[in-house]
Structure 1
Amino acid sequence: MANPIDGFQINPDSLRFVGEGLQRPECILAEPDGSLWAADARGGVVHIRPDGSQQLVVQNQSDSFSGDIDEARRFTEGTLPNGLAFDGDGAILISNFGTDRLERMQRDGRSTVVIDQIDGQPIGKVNFVLTDSRGRIWLTVSTMIRNWMQAISPNIADGYVAMLDESGARIVADGFRFTNEIRFDAAKEWLYVVETTGRCITRLRIDDHGQATRGETFGPSDTGGFIDGITFDTHGNLWGTHVMSDRIFAITPDGDFRVLLEDFDPEPARQMYEAFAEDRLTPDHMLACGGTIAPWFASLTFCGPDLRDVAIGSLRGTCIPIFRSPVAGLPMTHWR
Structure 2
Amino acid sequence: MTITLNAAPPRLRAELVVLDERFTKIAGDEYLECLYDGGRWLEGPAYSPAWRCLVFSDIPNDRLLRWDELSGQVSVFREPSGYVNGNTIDRAGRLISCSQGDRQVIRTEYDGTRTVLASHLDGKRLNSPNDVVERSDGSIWFTDPPYGITSSYEGHAAEQEIDGCHVYRIAPDGTLTVVADDFIRPNGLAFCNDETQLYVVDTPGKHIRRFDVDGVKLLGGEVFAPCEGGMFDGIRLDSTGRVWAATHEGVHCFDPDGTLIGKLLLPDVVSNLTFGGPKGNRLFITATTSVWSWLTNVQTAQR
Report if TM-score (shorter chain) is over 0.5: yes
* Aligned residue number for residue 250 of structure 1: 253
- The equivalent position to 1:195 in structure 2, one of 202, 215, 220, is 202
* Aligned residue number for residue 45 of structure 1: 64
Q: Contact 2:48 / 2:93 at 8 angstroms: preserved in 1?
A: no
Say whether residues 1:261 and 2:264 are aligned partners. yes
Find the aligned partners of 2:27 and 2:142 in 1 and give their Cα distance. 32
Structure 2, unpaired ranges of 5+: 1-19, 154-162
Deviation of 1:144 (Å):
8.7
- In angstroms, what is the RMSD of aligned CA positions? 2.7
Instruction: Give the 3 Å change call, closer, same or farther, for CA 57–111 of structure 1 in structure 2.
Output: same
Find the aligned partners of 1:175 and 1:190 in 2 and give their Cα distance. 17
Find the aligned partners of 1:167 and 1:27 in 2 and give their Cα distance. 23
Instruction: Give the 3 Å change call, closer, same or farther, for CA 36–167 of structure 1 in structure 2.
Output: closer
Give SS of 2:43's match. coil
Deviation of 1:145 (Å):
9.0
Say whether residues 1:27 and 2:44 are aligned partners. yes
Find the aligned partners of 1:310 and 1:48 in 2 and give their Cα distance. 14
Say whether residues 1:80 and 2:100 are aligned partners. no
Find the aligned partners of 2:95 and 2:148 in 1 and give their Cα distance. 26
* Aligned residue number for residue 298 of structure 1: 271
* Aligned residue number for residue 13 of structure 2: none
Structure 1 segments, 4+ long, off by >4 Å, are 7-11
Say whether residues 1:225 and 2:230 are aligned partners. yes
Q: Contact 2:23 / 2:261 at 8 angstroms: preserved in 1?
A: no
Say whether residues 1:99 and 2:70 are aligned partners. no
Q: Contact 1:59 / 1:111 at 8 angstroms: preserved in 2?
A: no
Give 1 or 2: higher strand fraction.
Answer: 2
Deviation of 1:32 (Å):
2.9
Aligned residues: 270
TM-score normalised by length of structure 2: 0.79
Q: Which residues in structure 2 correspond to 1:4-19 (within 5 Å)?
A: 5-6=23-24, 14-19=31-36
How many percent of aligned residue pairs carry the same amino acid?
24
Find the aligned partners of 1:93 and 1:106 in 2 and give their Cα distance. 9
Q: Which residues in structure 2 correspond to 1:67-146 (within 5 Å)?
A: 79-106=82-109, 109-143=112-146, 146=149
Give 1 or 2: higher helix fraction.
Answer: 1
Deviation of 1:5 (Å):
2.0
Q: Contact 1:185 / 1:232 at 8 angstroms: preserved in 2?
A: yes
Deviation of 1:88 (Å):
4.5
TM-score normalised by length of structure 1: 0.72
Q: Which has the larger radius of gyration?
A: 1
Deviation of 1:213 (Å):
2.3
Find the aligned partners of 2:292 and 2:286 in 1 and give their Cα distance. 8
Find the aligned partners of 2:25 and 2:132 in 1 and give their Cα distance. 33
Deviation of 1:299 (Å):
1.1
Find the aligned partners of 1:325 and 1:102 in 2 and give their Cα distance. 31
Structure 1, unpaired ranges of 5+: 61-75, 150-156, 264-290
Find the aligned partners of 2:185 and 2:106 in 1 and give their Cα distance. 21
